[in-house]
Amino acid sequence: MITEQDVEEALDYLQDSAQESAQWTSAKHYYDKKLKRIESLEFMKEERGAIESKRMAARASNEYGECLEDYKEATYNSTLIDAKREACRLTISYWQTYTKNKIGVY
């Protein structure tokens, strides 16, 4: 059974994690765009060759690999915090429904 304390903790977590959630989401989008930029710059360095071989060379660069690791971390942390925040929202929603049913609002 979900208690009022559980709901209070869920509300506190949502409030306390809002900025961190925004930072990780922003980082994920930033690294996504940075990957595309690095790929484009590396692609342009290759003067000759088929398009696909240029793309493969660009993606094999050290800078691209490092950025991909950063993107992976940002995606993981963004997804994790989003899942925790969604669990809090579900806790609150359940509590609201339970409380309304208990007092006969529905």
Q: What pTM did the predictor assign?
A: 0.83
Q: What is the pLDDT along the chain (106 residues), one digit of tens a residue?
A: 899 999 999 999 999 999 999 999 999 999 999 999 999 999 888 878 898 888 898 899 999 999 999 999 999 999 999 999 999 999 999 999 999 988 876 5
How far, in Å, CA of 23 to CA of 9, rounded?
22
Q: Give the residue from 20, 27, 22 showing the smallest Cα distance to 72.
A: 27
Beta carbons within 8 Å of 4's beta carbon, 6+ residues apart: 95
Residue ranges covered by each domain of the chain: 4-103
